[in-house]
Structure 1
Amino acid sequence: MPAATDLHVVLGAGGAVGSSVVRELASRGHRVRAVNRSGRVPALPGVEARKGDITTAAGAKAACDGAQVVYHCAAPAYDRWVQEFPGMTDAVRQGAAASGAKLVFADNLYMYGPVSGPMTEDMPYAAENPKGRVRAEMAQALLAAHRSGELRVAIGRASDYYGPGGVNTSVGATVFAAALGGKTARWVGALDQPHSLSYLPDIARGLVTLGEDARADGQAWHLPAAEPVTGRQFLDLVFAELGRPGRMGTLGRPMQRVLGLVNPTVRELGETWYQRDRPFVSDTSMFTRTFGPLAVTPHSDAVAATLDWYRANPRP
């Protein structure tokens, strides 16, 4: 039966994107159920923490019960996407449908494969690598469920993220924690190629906009972000905010191959290296034309907030 209450359920609420969505929803006055495996989330007014396993249909249905909108922000470990992500997302689809809820899926840009210009939502899903194909298949399955009338679906796509709580990302500890500690801040890939980067609170605002607006239904959307920057420009912003010079370097393809021998997450970066050696830019104009301008955070302000978080949460 359709949900009759203003309950927004966030799955994967302990992760970087999910926790940002929880905070955004709470700031807008929604009732929020924050679901993750531990049941531990930051205490916020109007937020109910719940422990749940959404990898099964029964677990997902319990997590989504009574929801008006469900935000699927959960993901398996990066090196387990192919094996585990489709099953999890299918369970979430069943859970959201059983509650009569709208489903908002936090997606990325892998499905397009190598591109020769800015990415737009009408591009074909041309990825041939396993992670790109999995992303494409999940998006296609969810949009097919929307077309069939099983449930309402909207998909929000962001590029590499950073921000408070953003640890498991290529623009995380190897940049911010390293720079704070006086170590070499390393950019993954070429330093001088433009790259879209998404700030976590901006991602959350975009996803919640999709959840609140029926015009988002049945479509994938590129979420607004600040202007693309090169790795060198981004690292310069980090050191400018620190107020001192620092050492910058790259994790290039040869080093990625060597480190990948012992680190499965680094090893997995190889299949999408085309995102690192050429421009990787997201066109977000369709979102802006439809919903109006979303005030994105300038990179300088976002970098400052991220450094503050890493100062307060030092990495071991």
Structure 2
Amino acid sequence: MSKVALFGAAGAIGQSIAKALAAQGRPYRVVGRSEASLRKSFGADPLAEVVTWNPDSPESVEAAAAGIDTLIYLVGVNYWQFELHPQLMRKTLEGAIAAGVRNVILIGTVYPYGRARTTPVREDHPREPHTFKGRMRKEQEDILLQAHAAGRINATVLRLPDFYGPGVEASLLHRPAVAAVQGGSADMVGPIDRPHEFVFVPDVGPVVARLVDTPAAFGHVWHLAGAGVTTQRELVDEMQRQAGRRIPLRVAGKTTLRVLGLFNRMMREMVEMNYLMTEPLVMDDSALQRLIGPVRKTSYVEGVRQTLAAIPAR
């Protein structure tokens, strides 16, 4: 059985993928900067090998990738440091190739597309990002896909929409979920009545685990869509229904984000991406399902139930 490494493993998506690999009985390596963080998340799994790395050191990157067949790339950066995405991809890719890695799977986003020209969006949609973050993500992808085209490594990209799930704090839905369980109000980024989709994080891992063993996946971009089109408000309504509690909302649109951005760097960086809240971008993942077969998608009702159940009562 081929050996897999998750680079940037400590986040929610990495943990979902690790769980799916473990369910296959497949040994895997988790790679990150913090050994303590990795051991907290994966230390109880005998199939997990914990390795730390310094992405600025070619020797460290190559050592972290040694003996690996497939590298799953989940490396994140601060939202205000997107210029690092192509830099880190280039360094990781060079180290992986030097170590003899055969395959790379990049977990990507919709940012490189820019504004949607069609609904839904398929994988052949033009990549014409009009934002800095989109351009950096596109450059990251280009570095990887050009290496594939040159025959240096096999590469594929799996694009995800916004996500949510148990313990997923970096989600548009996290604060209303906490408020549903613990009380109080919730800050949200709006508008919250426009069509949107969310992927339930535990559904991602099994898809990635199947791609690892699908040679035809490489050399292409794939979409994993959510469980259907919804809105943030509909999901908040479902949280209120399940919790039996009203959730007062404070919704920040683009103008409010600009004002808050005068004092908060994170809010400032969210302004340019607010078009994804006002101009729906919904993905078509029929190509992925033709490739690997039917994909299990947790309903929003069940996803909300599991998300709320994971939040401790105050």
The match for 2:266 is 265
Q: Rate the CA distance shift 1:187–1:228 in 2: closer, same or farther, 3 A.
A: farther
State the secondary structure of the residue aligned to 1:170. coil
Q: Rate the CA distance shift 1:165–1:12 in 2: closer, same or farther, 3 A.
A: farther
* C-alpha deviation, 1:259, in angstroms: 1.6
Assess if the C-alpha contact under 8 Å between 1:156 and 1:210 holds in 2. Answer: no
The match for 2:157 is 155
Assess if the C-alpha contact under 8 Å between 1:196 and 1:229 holds in 2. Answer: yes
State the secondary structure of the residue aligned to 2:6. strand
* C-alpha deviation, 1:105, in angstroms: 0.5
Structure 2: tracts of 5 or more residues without a match? none
- Counterparts in 2 of 1:178-257, with a 5 A limit? 178-257=179-258
TM-score computed with the length of structure 2 as normaliser: 0.92
* C-alpha deviation, 1:160, in angstroms: 1.0
The match for 1:29 is 25
Assess if the C-alpha contact under 8 Å between 2:197 and 2:225 holds in 1. Answer: no
Query: For 1:43-68, what per-residue CA distance to the aligned partner results, in whole angstroms no more than 9, with x for missing partners?
Result: 21311122222344322211111011
Query: For 1:190-221, what per-residue CA distance to the aligned partner results, in whole angstroms no more than 9, with x for missing partners?
Result: 12111111111122222222222111100110
Return the match for 2:135 from 133, 137, 148. 133
* C-alpha deviation, 1:7, in angstroms: 1.3
Assess if the C-alpha contact under 8 Å between 2:71 and 2:101 holds in 1. Answer: no
TM-score computed with the length of structure 1 as normaliser: 0.92
Of the structure 1 ranges 107-116 and 252-261, higher mean CA displacement relative to structure 2 is found in 252-261
* C-alpha deviation, 1:139, in angstroms: 1.0
The match for 1:293 is 294
Which residue type is aligned with residue 89 of structure 1?
Answer: M
Query: For 1:220-261, what per-residue CA distance to the aligned partner results, in whole angstroms no more than 9, with x for missing partners?
Result: 101142112111111112222213332234221222112212
> 1-side partners of 2:56 and 2:266: how far apart?
21
Assess if the C-alpha contact under 8 Å between 1:170 and 1:188 holds in 2. Answer: yes
Query: For 1:271-298, what per-residue CA distance to the aligned partner results, in whole angstroms no more than 9, with x for missing partners?
Result: 1111011222111111112211111111
Which residue type is aligned with residue 168 of structure 2?
Answer: G
State the secondary structure of the residue aligned to 1:154. strand
State the secondary structure of the residue aligned to 1:33. strand
> 2-side partners of 1:57 and 1:88: how far apart?
11
* C-alpha deviation, 1:180, in angstroms: 2.2
> 2-side partners of 1:137 and 1:147: how far apart?
15
Query: For 1:104-128, what per-residue CA distance to the aligned partner results, in whole angstroms no more than 9, with x for missing partners?
Result: 1010000111114222110111112
- Counterparts in 2 of 1:161-176, with a 5 A limit? 161-172=163-174, 174-176=175-177
Assess if the C-alpha contact under 8 Å between 1:12 and 1:74 holds in 2. Answer: yes
* C-alpha deviation, 1:69, in angstroms: 0.9
Assess if the C-alpha contact under 8 Å between 2:166 and 2:307 holds in 1. Answer: yes
Which residue type is aligned with residue 201 of structure 1?
Answer: P
Assess if the C-alpha contact under 8 Å between 1:79 and 1:264 holds in 2. Answer: yes
Which residue type is aligned with residue 303 of structure 1?
Answer: V
State the secondary structure of the residue aligned to 2:163. strand
The match for 1:113 is 114
Identity %: 30
The match for 1:7 is 3
* C-alpha deviation, 1:87, in angstroms: 1.1
* C-alpha deviation, 1:152, in angstroms: 0.5
Which residue type is aligned with residue 101 of structure 1?
Answer: R
> 2-side partners of 1:62 and 1:168: how far apart?
30
Structure 1: tracts of 5 or more residues without a match? none
Of the structure 1 ranges 178-187 and 214-223, higher mean CA displacement relative to structure 2 is found in 178-187
Assess if the C-alpha contact under 8 Å between 1:96 and 1:102 holds in 2. Answer: no
Aligned-residue CA RMSD in angstroms? 1.7
